[in-house]
Structure 1
Amino acid sequence: MSFLTANWNNLALINYEINPKMLSKYLPKGTEIDLWNDKCYVSLVDFMFNNTKVLGFKIPFHTNFEEVNLRFYVKRFENDEWKRGVVFIKEIVPKTAITFIANTLYKEHYQTNKMRHAVNENGFSRTFVYEWKNDNKWNSIQLETKLDQSAIELNSEAEFITEHYFGYTKYDENTTFEYEVTHPRWEQFEIINYKIEVDFENNYGKDFIFFNETKPISVFLAKGSKITVENKKKIRL
């Protein structure tokens, strides 16, 4: 049985280029940075968790909620093939029980903050808004998209961002946890416009303050799907 099942819906993916050396202290042992066209990416990702179940059970009042995370991309070579995954610098949710479970069982870096979201449609476009409050300051991401969805092209930047199927956690300098995330290929909505008001230093520390003045290299809105998160395992190195 999967550890967690849910629907991940309306994923806003805000992508920045970064010097990979700046991520070295966050890199789990046994993994290496995964590049696309020789570029190292960090993504700010907002989305909805819906119909969430842990070990097949719904936790009352914890089935539908927002998440925002800051992540980067890694790969690990095992059994003559590359596993492509992500490392989360921080994940923010509005539910304390989710934070407790993730941090206790998966040794992730969850934090509980007040959050809200909205989806508005005017007949010509759809606008997705995600907001979260940190230190009494609201951060927001707003994406306006076309109504019709389309396939994510093979070998595209959007495919690189969305098609990573493992999570890696740096527990300490010598211990790495790995877990698999499963989902079908996603479709995307074409971006018309976007607005980002995020204090990266306040949320993620001085390592990422320069994102406050940096334009994203790309922005995507993926429709999402049902997903599973499998049980973690300790990597034997």
Structure 2
Amino acid sequence: MKRFIPFYRKNNEAKSFLKAQWRHLAFANYEVSPDVLQPYLPAGTELDLWNGKCYLSLVAFLFLETKVFGVKVPGHVNFEEVNIRFYVKRLDGNEWKRGVVFVKEIVPRSAIAFIANTFYREKYERLPMMHEFSESDNSKTYKFGWRKNVKWNSFSVDTKKSSADILEGSETEFITEHYFGYSRQTAATSFEYEVKHPRWQQFEVTDYKIDVDFEAVYGNDFAFLKDLEPVSVFLADGSNISVENKIKITN
């Protein structure tokens, strides 16, 4: 394995690639056939199942106070992201590393998309985006939107106002407790990077709405999602996070 470290601190420790806050993470989780995801598996990984079920998630959230290699890029500090991702694992010696693979990540800022696609071989796309948050006496509402061609796609959730712990062994724990990212480089090589954050709290979702042209945004392989109901929807509060430097894996 080869580690790519483009920047160092004065004490010769590698700087994190990215530091930020991830906040108000809305998850819609779908049970899908493993056959759908097999072509997207990076080298050296395999699908990570929960109770024999294969999951894919639509995730929308806010990036806040974003720094790339320790620097705030003007106009790229606070912004939305929407992605679809699935869950994998990789055996590293005697340790199973659990991670995610992003089918596509959508952001409204071109520099973030360029840097992530160039350094990490991720699948970022820049599109116009928006978000709206509101609060009543009994609930909170979070709405994220992104425009593909002429259509505004959206994902919104209504939640209770109080958060709760994520239970050990739960589906929500499975979804949120994956601390590595994997991206395909070639058929025989991939990149691995660590994502560091504390355990999150969750908010119970009382209602949600998903209005997405999955075929237009994510391609024909994922068009079926328009007719599929998610098996669960929740909101995580989020936290400070860091994305560490990548290593190259050869299968």
Q: TM-score when scaled to structure 1?
A: 0.99
**Counterpart for residue 24 of structure 1:** 38
Residue ranges of structure 1 left out of the alignment (5+ in a row): none
2:87 to 70, 73, 76: 73
**Counterpart for residue 102 of structure 1:** 116
Deviation at 1:10, TM superposition (A): 0.3
Confirm whether residue 121 of structure 1 aligns to residue 96 of structure 2: no
2:197 to 159, 180, 183: 183
Identity %: 58
* Partners of 1:236 and 1:143 in 2: CA distance: 40
2:50 to 26, 36, 39: 36
**Local SS of the residue matching 2:39:** helix
AA aligned to 2:220 is K
Equivalenced residue count is: 237
AA aligned to 1:71 is R
- Confirm or deny: 8 A CA contact 2:184 2:190 kept in the other structure: yes
Q: Deviations over 1:161-184 (max 9, x none)?
A: 000000000111011100000000
**Local SS of the residue matching 1:103:** helix
Deviation at 1:79, TM superposition (A): 2.3
2:230 to 195, 216, 219: 216
**Local SS of the residue matching 2:242:** strand
- Confirm or deny: 8 A CA contact 2:188 2:250 kept in the other structure: no
**Counterpart for residue 230 of structure 1:** 244
1:87 to 101, 113, 118: 101
**Local SS of the residue matching 1:158:** helix
Q: Give structure 1 regions of 4+ aligned residues with deviation exceeding 3 angstroms.
A: none
Confirm whether residue 144 of structure 1 aligns to residue 144 of structure 2: no
* Partners of 1:173 and 1:215 in 2: CA distance: 32
Equivalent residues in 2 for 1:160-171 (5 A)? 160-171=174-185
Deviation at 1:230, TM superposition (A): 0.2
RMSD across aligned C-alpha pairs, in angstroms? 0.7
* Partners of 1:14 and 1:121 in 2: CA distance: 21
Q: Deviations over 1:72-95 (max 9, x none)?
A: 000001121110000000000000
Residue ranges of structure 2 left out of the alignment (5+ in a row): 1-14
**Local SS of the residue matching 1:105:** helix
